[in-house]
Protein backbone atom coordinates (compact mmCIF):
# COMPACT_ATOMS: atom_id res chain seq x y z
CA UNK A 1 0.00 0.00 0.00
CA UNK A 2 1.15 3.50 -0.78
CA UNK A 3 -0.97 5.95 1.13
CA UNK A 4 -0.99 9.73 0.97
CA UNK A 5 -1.47 11.85 4.08
CA UNK A 6 -2.52 15.51 4.05
CA UNK A 7 -2.54 17.92 6.99
CA UNK A 8 -3.14 21.64 7.43
CA UNK A 9 -1.49 23.97 9.91
CA UNK A 10 -1.22 27.58 11.03
CA UNK A 11 -3.86 30.30 10.71
CA UNK A 12 -6.83 29.56 8.47
CA UNK A 13 -7.38 31.26 5.09
CA UNK A 14 -10.22 31.36 2.59
CA UNK A 15 -8.15 29.39 0.07
CA UNK A 16 -6.38 26.65 2.06
CA UNK A 17 -9.06 24.07 1.26
CA UNK A 18 -8.62 24.70 -2.46
CA UNK A 19 -5.08 23.36 -1.98
CA UNK A 20 -6.51 20.25 -0.33
CA UNK A 21 -8.88 19.92 -3.29
CA UNK A 22 -5.90 20.18 -5.68
CA UNK A 23 -3.97 17.47 -3.83
CA UNK A 24 -6.97 15.18 -3.55
CA UNK A 25 -8.00 15.53 -7.20
CA UNK A 26 -4.44 14.77 -8.37
CA UNK A 27 -4.13 11.84 -5.95
CA UNK A 28 -7.43 10.36 -7.11
CA UNK A 29 -6.08 10.29 -10.69
CA UNK A 30 -2.86 8.54 -9.70
CA UNK A 31 -2.31 4.78 -9.68
CA UNK A 32 0.57 5.34 -7.27
CA UNK A 33 -1.76 6.28 -4.43
CA UNK A 34 -3.95 3.85 -2.53
CA UNK A 35 -5.60 5.53 0.44
CA UNK A 36 -5.80 9.31 0.76
CA UNK A 37 -5.87 10.23 4.44
CA UNK A 38 -6.38 13.55 6.19
CA UNK A 39 -4.86 14.17 9.62
CA UNK A 40 -7.06 16.27 11.90
CA UNK A 41 -5.41 19.29 13.52
CA UNK A 42 -2.12 19.16 11.67
CA UNK A 43 0.92 17.41 13.03
CA UNK A 44 -0.90 17.00 16.35
CA UNK A 45 -3.40 14.79 14.56
CA UNK A 46 -0.55 12.78 13.03
CA UNK A 47 0.94 12.15 16.48
CA UNK A 48 -2.50 11.20 17.79
CA UNK A 49 -3.25 9.02 14.72
CA UNK A 50 -6.38 11.03 14.20
CA UNK A 51 -7.05 10.31 10.52
CA UNK A 52 -10.02 10.44 8.18
CA UNK A 53 -10.36 8.75 4.80
CA UNK A 54 -10.71 11.48 2.19
CA UNK A 55 -12.34 9.17 -0.34
CA UNK A 56 -15.26 8.75 2.08
CA UNK A 57 -15.61 12.50 2.55
CA UNK A 58 -14.96 13.83 -0.94
CA UNK A 59 -16.79 11.63 -3.40
CA UNK A 60 -18.09 13.86 -6.14
CA UNK A 61 -17.33 16.93 -8.19
CA UNK A 62 -19.90 18.73 -6.04
CA UNK A 63 -18.03 17.81 -2.84
CA UNK A 64 -14.82 19.09 -4.43
CA UNK A 65 -16.46 22.41 -5.41
CA UNK A 66 -17.92 22.81 -1.93
CA UNK A 67 -14.55 22.07 -0.33
CA UNK A 68 -13.02 24.80 -2.50
CA UNK A 69 -15.56 27.36 -1.30
CA UNK A 70 -15.27 26.39 2.38
CA UNK A 71 -13.03 28.84 4.23
CA UNK A 72 -10.70 27.96 7.09
CA UNK A 73 -8.85 24.65 7.47
CA UNK A 74 -11.37 21.88 6.81
CA UNK A 75 -8.98 19.34 8.38
CA UNK A 76 -8.41 21.56 11.40
CA UNK A 77 -5.13 23.17 12.32
CA UNK A 78 -2.58 23.34 15.09
CA UNK A 79 0.18 25.61 16.31
CA UNK A 80 2.53 22.77 17.22
CA UNK A 81 6.12 23.23 16.10
CA UNK A 82 8.50 20.28 16.28
CA UNK A 83 10.75 20.74 19.25
CA UNK A 84 14.35 21.82 18.93
CA UNK A 85 16.52 19.33 17.09
CA UNK A 86 17.41 16.86 19.86
CA UNK A 87 13.85 16.35 21.11
CA UNK A 88 12.60 16.77 17.58
CA UNK A 89 14.33 13.55 16.57
CA UNK A 90 12.23 11.62 19.08
CA UNK A 91 9.06 13.23 17.73
CA UNK A 92 10.14 12.60 14.15
CA UNK A 93 10.85 8.95 14.88
CA UNK A 94 7.41 8.68 16.44
CA UNK A 95 5.90 10.25 13.31
CA UNK A 96 7.82 7.85 11.04
CA UNK A 97 6.58 4.87 13.07
CA UNK A 98 3.04 6.13 12.57
CA UNK A 99 3.72 6.55 8.85
CA UNK A 100 4.92 2.93 8.75
CA UNK A 101 1.86 1.74 10.66
CA UNK A 102 -0.53 3.43 8.21
CA UNK A 103 1.68 2.70 5.17
CA UNK A 104 2.02 6.41 4.48
CA UNK A 105 4.48 6.91 1.65
CA UNK A 106 3.56 10.50 0.87
CA UNK A 107 3.00 13.35 3.31
CA UNK A 108 1.98 16.87 2.32
CA UNK A 109 1.82 19.60 4.95
CA UNK A 110 -0.03 22.79 4.06
CA UNK A 111 0.97 25.85 6.05
CA UNK A 112 3.10 28.94 6.56
CA UNK A 113 6.56 29.62 8.00
CA UNK A 114 6.25 27.48 11.09
CA UNK A 115 4.65 24.60 9.22
CA UNK A 116 7.43 24.66 6.60
CA UNK A 117 9.87 24.26 9.49
CA UNK A 118 8.13 20.95 10.27
CA UNK A 119 8.44 19.89 6.61
CA UNK A 120 12.12 20.85 6.68
CA UNK A 121 12.89 18.92 9.87
CA UNK A 122 10.97 15.83 8.74
CA UNK A 123 12.44 15.77 5.23
CA UNK A 124 15.98 16.45 6.48
CA UNK A 125 15.69 13.53 8.91
CA UNK A 126 14.52 11.23 6.12
CA UNK A 127 17.42 12.31 3.91
CA UNK A 128 19.99 12.04 6.69
CA UNK A 129 18.81 8.54 7.53
CA UNK A 130 18.56 7.44 3.89
CA UNK A 131 14.87 6.69 4.22
CA UNK A 132 13.86 6.84 0.59
CA UNK A 133 10.40 5.29 0.66
CA UNK A 134 8.74 8.21 2.45
CA UNK A 135 8.50 11.64 0.84
CA UNK A 136 7.53 14.83 2.66
CA UNK A 137 6.55 17.96 0.78
CA UNK A 138 5.15 21.37 1.74
CA UNK A 139 2.31 23.37 0.21
CA UNK A 140 2.32 27.06 1.06
CA UNK A 141 -0.51 29.13 2.50
CA UNK A 142 -0.71 32.24 4.61
CA UNK A 143 -2.77 35.39 4.38
CA UNK A 144 0.29 37.20 5.78
CA UNK A 145 2.10 36.78 2.44
CA UNK A 146 5.39 36.59 4.28
CA UNK A 147 6.95 33.45 2.79
CA UNK A 148 10.28 33.80 0.98
CA UNK A 149 10.91 32.31 -2.45
CA UNK A 150 7.32 32.56 -3.63
CA UNK A 151 5.88 35.53 -5.51
CA UNK A 152 2.86 35.63 -3.22
CA UNK A 153 1.17 33.20 -0.87
CA UNK A 154 -2.08 31.37 -1.55
CA UNK A 155 -4.82 32.83 0.64
CA UNK A 156 -3.33 36.31 0.46
CA UNK A 157 -5.19 37.30 -2.71
CA UNK A 158 -8.59 36.51 -1.22
CA UNK A 159 -7.79 38.32 2.01
CA UNK A 160 -6.52 41.27 -0.06
CA UNK A 161 -9.76 41.32 -2.05
CA UNK A 162 -11.78 41.30 1.18
CA UNK A 163 -9.65 44.09 2.63
CA UNK A 164 -9.76 46.24 -0.54
CA UNK A 165 -13.52 45.82 -0.82
CA UNK A 166 -14.06 46.50 2.86
CA UNK A 167 -12.02 49.72 2.72
CA UNK A 168 -14.07 50.78 -0.32
CA UNK A 169 -17.24 50.21 1.69
CA UNK A 170 -15.83 51.84 4.82
CA UNK A 171 -14.87 54.88 2.76
CA UNK A 172 -18.52 55.14 1.63
CA UNK A 173 -19.71 54.76 5.19
CA UNK A 174 -17.30 57.30 6.67
CA UNK A 175 -18.00 59.80 3.92
CA UNK A 176 -21.70 60.34 4.66
CA UNK A 177 -21.48 62.83 7.52
CA UNK A 178 -20.26 66.37 7.07
CA UNK A 179 -18.38 66.32 10.38
CA UNK A 180 -14.68 65.89 11.03
CA UNK A 181 -14.15 62.21 11.75
CA UNK A 182 -11.10 59.99 11.90
CA UNK A 183 -11.56 56.23 11.43
CA UNK A 184 -8.60 53.96 12.22
CA UNK A 185 -8.77 50.41 10.90
CA UNK A 186 -6.44 47.73 12.20
CA UNK A 187 -5.38 45.03 9.75
CA UNK A 188 -3.60 41.76 10.56
CA UNK A 189 0.18 41.65 10.23
CA UNK A 190 2.49 41.12 13.17
CA UNK A 191 5.75 41.78 11.35
CA UNK A 192 4.80 42.38 7.73
CA UNK A 193 2.50 44.96 6.22
CA UNK A 194 1.29 43.12 3.10
CA UNK A 195 -2.31 42.82 4.25
CA UNK A 196 -2.45 46.43 5.37
CA UNK A 197 -1.10 47.54 2.01
CA UNK A 198 -4.07 45.76 0.40
CA UNK A 199 -6.32 48.51 1.81
CA UNK A 200 -5.02 50.58 -1.12
CA UNK A 201 -6.92 48.31 -3.52
CA UNK A 202 -10.03 50.34 -2.63
CA UNK A 203 -8.57 52.89 -5.06
CA UNK A 204 -8.44 50.77 -8.21
CA UNK A 205 -11.65 52.27 -9.62
CA UNK A 206 -10.71 55.85 -8.80
CA UNK A 207 -11.88 56.00 -5.18
CA UNK A 208 -9.85 57.69 -2.45
CA UNK A 209 -9.47 54.57 -0.34
CA UNK A 210 -7.56 55.02 2.90
CA UNK A 211 -6.02 58.48 3.29
CA UNK A 212 -3.08 57.16 5.27
CA UNK A 213 -1.49 53.70 5.40
CA UNK A 214 1.03 52.71 8.07
CA UNK A 215 2.85 49.40 7.68
CA UNK A 216 4.82 47.73 10.44
CA UNK A 217 8.00 47.86 8.31
CA UNK A 218 8.38 51.59 9.07
CA UNK A 219 8.99 52.71 12.69
CA UNK A 220 5.88 54.48 13.91
CA UNK A 221 6.09 57.98 15.36
CA UNK A 222 3.17 59.50 17.27
CA UNK A 223 4.10 63.11 16.42
CA UNK A 224 4.38 62.45 12.71
CA UNK A 225 1.09 60.53 12.84
CA UNK A 226 -0.72 63.46 14.48
CA UNK A 227 0.71 65.85 11.87
CA UNK A 228 -0.34 63.51 9.04
CA UNK A 229 -3.89 63.34 10.39
CA UNK A 230 -4.10 67.12 10.93
CA UNK A 231 -3.00 67.67 7.35
CA UNK A 232 -5.64 65.25 6.01
CA UNK A 233 -8.36 66.86 8.17
CA UNK A 234 -7.63 70.25 6.62
CA UNK A 235 -8.76 68.94 3.22
CA UNK A 236 -11.37 66.35 4.18
CA UNK A 237 -14.21 65.82 6.61
CA UNK A 238 -13.56 62.14 6.94
CA UNK A 239 -10.10 60.61 7.26
CA UNK A 240 -9.75 56.86 6.87
CA UNK A 241 -6.54 55.23 8.10
CA UNK A 242 -5.16 51.70 7.68
CA UNK A 243 -2.60 50.41 10.16
CA UNK A 244 -0.86 47.09 10.68
CA UNK A 245 -1.60 45.49 14.06
CA UNK A 246 2.15 45.15 14.53
CA UNK A 247 3.26 48.78 14.09
CA UNK A 248 6.18 49.53 16.41
CA UNK A 249 8.02 52.59 17.67
CA UNK A 250 11.68 53.00 16.71
CA UNK A 251 12.76 51.42 20.02
CA UNK A 252 10.98 48.22 19.00
CA UNK A 253 8.02 48.61 21.37
CA UNK A 254 4.67 47.68 19.85
CA UNK A 255 2.19 50.57 19.71
CA UNK A 256 -0.35 48.13 21.08
CA UNK A 257 1.81 47.19 24.02
CA UNK A 258 -0.12 49.17 26.59
CA UNK A 259 -3.35 47.31 25.86
CA UNK A 260 -2.20 43.88 24.75
CA UNK A 261 -3.36 40.92 26.72
CA UNK A 262 0.03 39.28 27.38
CA UNK A 263 -1.31 36.15 25.75
CA UNK A 264 1.46 34.14 24.09
CA UNK A 265 0.53 31.48 21.54
CA UNK A 266 2.09 28.03 21.23
CA UNK A 267 4.75 29.32 18.83
CA UNK A 268 5.80 31.87 21.47
CA UNK A 269 4.40 34.83 19.51
CA UNK A 270 2.80 37.38 21.75
CA UNK A 271 -0.82 38.13 20.98
CA UNK A 272 -0.94 41.63 19.55
CA UNK A 273 -4.08 43.66 19.18
CA UNK A 274 -5.24 47.07 20.06
CA UNK A 275 -2.87 49.40 18.16
CA UNK A 276 -5.87 51.14 16.59
CA UNK A 277 -7.36 51.74 20.03
CA UNK A 278 -4.14 53.34 21.23
CA UNK A 279 -4.10 55.63 18.18
CA UNK A 280 -7.79 56.42 18.70
CA UNK A 281 -6.96 57.72 22.17
CA UNK A 282 -4.00 59.71 20.84
CA UNK A 283 -6.20 61.49 18.27
CA UNK A 284 -8.94 62.12 20.84
CA UNK A 285 -6.47 63.59 23.32
CA UNK A 286 -4.62 65.75 20.79
CA UNK A 287 -6.83 66.75 17.86
CA UNK A 288 -10.05 66.14 19.78
CA UNK A 289 -12.34 65.40 16.81
CA UNK A 290 -14.68 62.44 16.55
CA UNK A 291 -12.53 59.34 16.23
CA UNK A 292 -13.21 55.62 16.21
CA UNK A 293 -11.17 52.48 15.77
CA UNK A 294 -12.07 49.09 14.45
CA UNK A 295 -10.30 45.88 13.52
CA UNK A 296 -10.89 43.56 10.59
CA UNK A 297 -9.97 40.78 12.98
CA UNK A 298 -10.77 37.16 12.06
CA UNK A 299 -13.12 38.22 9.25
CA UNK A 300 -10.21 39.07 6.96
CA UNK A 301 -8.92 35.52 7.00
CA UNK A 302 -12.18 33.58 6.83
CA UNK A 303 -14.42 35.65 4.52
CA UNK A 304 -14.97 32.82 2.06
CA UNK A 305 -17.93 34.63 0.52
CA UNK A 306 -15.63 37.10 -1.25
CA UNK A 307 -12.63 35.39 -2.73
CA UNK A 308 -10.26 36.06 -5.58
CA UNK A 309 -10.70 33.60 -8.46
CA UNK A 310 -6.99 33.88 -9.24
CA UNK A 311 -6.15 32.98 -5.65
CA UNK A 312 -8.44 29.96 -5.57
CA UNK A 313 -7.10 28.69 -8.92
CA UNK A 314 -3.48 29.13 -7.85
CA UNK A 315 -4.13 27.50 -4.47
CA UNK A 316 -5.54 24.48 -6.25
CA UNK A 317 -2.63 24.37 -8.74
CA UNK A 318 -0.14 24.47 -5.86
CA UNK A 319 -1.95 21.51 -4.31
CA UNK A 320 -1.65 19.61 -7.59
CA UNK A 321 2.04 20.53 -7.78
CA UNK A 322 2.68 19.42 -4.19
CA UNK A 323 1.02 16.10 -5.01
CA UNK A 324 3.22 15.67 -8.09
CA UNK A 325 6.29 16.43 -5.99
CA UNK A 326 5.54 13.66 -3.47
CA UNK A 327 4.71 11.22 -6.25
CA UNK A 328 8.08 11.97 -7.84
CA UNK A 329 9.92 11.59 -4.55
CA UNK A 330 10.98 15.22 -4.34
CA UNK A 331 11.52 15.11 -0.61
CA UNK A 332 11.88 18.47 1.16
CA UNK A 333 10.37 20.57 -1.59
CA UNK A 334 7.67 23.21 -1.31
CA UNK A 335 5.32 23.97 -4.23
CA UNK A 336 5.87 27.58 -5.23
CA UNK A 337 5.06 30.13 -7.89
CA UNK A 338 7.04 32.66 -9.88
CA UNK A 339 5.49 35.69 -11.55
CA UNK A 340 6.85 35.85 -15.08
CA UNK A 341 4.82 38.86 -16.24
CA UNK A 342 2.72 41.57 -14.62
CA UNK A 343 0.79 42.80 -17.68
CA UNK A 344 -0.57 40.37 -18.70
CA UNK A 345 -0.29 38.58 -15.38
CA UNK A 346 1.45 35.23 -15.82
CA UNK A 347 2.83 32.78 -13.32
CA UNK A 348 4.79 29.54 -13.38
CA UNK A 349 4.20 26.80 -10.86
CA UNK A 350 7.47 25.43 -9.55
CA UNK A 351 9.01 23.72 -6.53
CA UNK A 352 11.82 24.91 -4.30
CA UNK A 353 13.81 23.46 -1.37
CA UNK A 354 11.74 24.14 1.74
CA UNK A 355 14.80 25.11 3.82
CA UNK A 356 14.97 28.30 1.74
CA UNK A 357 11.53 29.21 3.08
CA UNK A 358 11.14 28.06 6.63
CA UNK A 359 11.85 30.44 9.50
CA UNK A 360 12.33 33.38 7.15
CA UNK A 361 9.88 36.26 6.87
CA UNK A 362 9.54 38.32 3.73
CA UNK A 363 8.90 41.92 4.67
CA UNK A 364 7.55 44.66 2.40
CA UNK A 365 10.47 46.20 0.40
CA UNK A 366 11.17 49.88 1.13
CA UNK A 367 10.41 50.75 -2.51
CA UNK A 368 6.81 49.58 -2.01
CA UNK A 369 6.29 52.26 0.66
CA UNK A 370 6.30 56.02 -0.03
CA UNK A 371 9.11 58.20 1.27
CA UNK A 372 6.95 59.69 4.06
CA UNK A 373 6.15 56.18 5.27
CA UNK A 374 2.41 56.87 5.29
CA UNK A 375 1.26 55.24 2.06
CA UNK A 376 2.25 52.67 -0.56
CA UNK A 377 3.81 53.27 -3.99
CA UNK A 378 2.72 52.35 -7.52
CA UNK A 379 5.17 49.47 -7.38
CA UNK A 380 3.16 47.92 -4.55
CA UNK A 381 -0.09 48.53 -6.45
CA UNK A 382 1.29 46.74 -9.52
CA UNK A 383 2.28 43.85 -7.31
CA UNK A 384 -1.13 43.61 -5.60
CA UNK A 385 -3.49 44.33 -8.47
CA UNK A 386 -3.45 40.96 -10.32
CA UNK A 387 -3.92 38.97 -7.11
CA UNK A 388 -7.52 40.05 -6.45
CA UNK A 389 -8.88 39.58 -9.95
CA UNK A 390 -11.94 37.49 -10.64
CA UNK A 391 -15.05 36.87 -8.62
CA UNK A 392 -16.53 33.60 -7.55
CA UNK A 393 -19.92 34.38 -8.94
CA UNK A 394 -20.79 30.72 -8.93
CA UNK A 395 -20.41 30.40 -5.20
CA UNK A 396 -23.20 28.16 -3.95
CA UNK A 397 -25.67 29.48 -1.40
CA UNK A 398 -28.42 27.58 0.35
CA UNK A 399 -31.15 29.17 2.47
CA UNK A 400 -29.46 32.54 2.10
CA UNK A 401 -25.96 31.69 3.38
CA UNK A 402 -22.99 30.04 1.63
CA UNK A 403 -22.73 26.25 1.55
CA UNK A 404 -19.67 24.68 3.18
CA UNK A 405 -18.30 21.15 3.28
CA UNK A 406 -17.63 19.69 6.72
CA UNK A 407 -14.99 16.98 6.89
CA UNK A 408 -15.21 16.18 10.61
Give the CA angle between residues 249, 236, 228 to the nearest 5°. 20
| Per rule CB under 8 A, count of chain residues that contact a second copy | 67
DSSP state of 404: -
**Strand 135-140 versus strand 36-39 pairing type:** unpaired
Binding span for a second copy by CB under 8 A among 106-114, 200-208, 216-224, 244-252: 200-208
- Rule CB under 8 A: say whether 338 interacts with a second copy: no
- Rule CB under 8 A: say whether 279 interacts with a second copy: no
- Rule CB under 8 A: say whether 43 interacts with a second copy: no
DSSP 150-192: SSS-TTHHHHHHHHHHHHHHHHHHHHTSSS-EEEEEEE--SS-
CB closer to a second copy out of 89 and 260: 260
β-pair partners for 286: none
Residues 95-154 that bind a second copy (CB under 8 A): none
As a whole number of Å, the end-to-end CA separation of the chain is 25
Alpha carbon distances (Å) from 399 to 65, 290, 402, 407: 18, 40, 8, 21
- Rule CB under 8 A: say whether 164 interacts with a second copy: yes
Compute how many other C-beta atoms are within 10 angstroms of the C-beta atom of residue 359.
Answer: 12
User: Which residue spans within 193-304 are E strands per DSSP?
Assistant: 212-214, 238-244, 290-295
Residues 233-262 that bind a second copy (CB under 8 A): 261
144 is annotated as an active-site residue = yes
- Rule CB under 8 A: say whether 399 interacts with a second copy: yes
Instruction: Answer whether the bond into residue 283 is a cis peptide, omega within 30°.
Output: no
- Rule CB under 8 A: say whether 297 interacts with a second copy: yes
Nearest to 309 by CA among 235, 222, 383, 387: 387
CB closer to a second copy out of 353 and 402: 402
CB-CB contact of 216 with 191 (8 Å): yes
- Rule CB under 8 A: say whether 298 interacts with a second copy: yes
Cα dihedral 390, 394, 397, 400 in deg (nearest 10): 70
CB of 234 to a second copy, least distance (A): 20
- Rule CB under 8 A: say whether 31 interacts with a second copy: no
CB of 86 to a second copy, least distance (A): 26
CB of 254 to a second copy, least distance (A): 17
Binding span for a second copy by CB under 8 A among 91-99, 286-294, 329-337, 355-363: 286-294
User: Which residue spans within 267-375 are E strands per DSSP?
Assistant: 290-295, 333-341, 346-353
Helix (H, G, I), strand (E, B) or coil at 259: coil
- Polymer length of the chain: 408
CB of 135 to a second copy, least distance (A): 26
Catalytic residue among 120, 144, 311, 392: 144
Which residue in 252, 288, 344, 400 binds a second copy (CB under 8 A)? Answer: 400
β-pair partners for 386: none
- Rule CB under 8 A: say whether 303 interacts with a second copy: yes
CB closer to a second copy out of 248 and 301: 301
Binding span for a second copy by CB under 8 A among 94-102, 161-169, 315-323, 360-368: 161-169
Q: Which residues bind a second copy (CB under 8 A)?
A: 8, 12, 40-41, 44, 70-73, 76-79, 161, 164-166, 168-170, 172-178, 183, 201-202, 204-205, 207, 261, 263, 273, 280, 284, 290, 292, 294-299, 301-306, 308, 385, 388-391, 393, 397-404
For the annotated catalytic residues, the residue numbers are: 144
Amino acid sequence: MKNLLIAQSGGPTAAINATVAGIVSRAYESKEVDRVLGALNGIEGVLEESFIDMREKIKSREDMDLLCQTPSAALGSCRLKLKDMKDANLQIEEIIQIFRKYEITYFIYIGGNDSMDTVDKLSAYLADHHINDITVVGAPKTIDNDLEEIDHCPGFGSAAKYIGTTFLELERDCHVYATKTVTIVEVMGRNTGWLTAAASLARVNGGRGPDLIYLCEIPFCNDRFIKDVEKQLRGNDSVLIAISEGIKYSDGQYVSEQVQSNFVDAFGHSYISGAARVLEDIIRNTIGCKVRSLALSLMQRCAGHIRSTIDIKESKLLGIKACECVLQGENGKMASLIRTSNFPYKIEITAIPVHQVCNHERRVPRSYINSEGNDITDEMMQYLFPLIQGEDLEIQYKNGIPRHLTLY
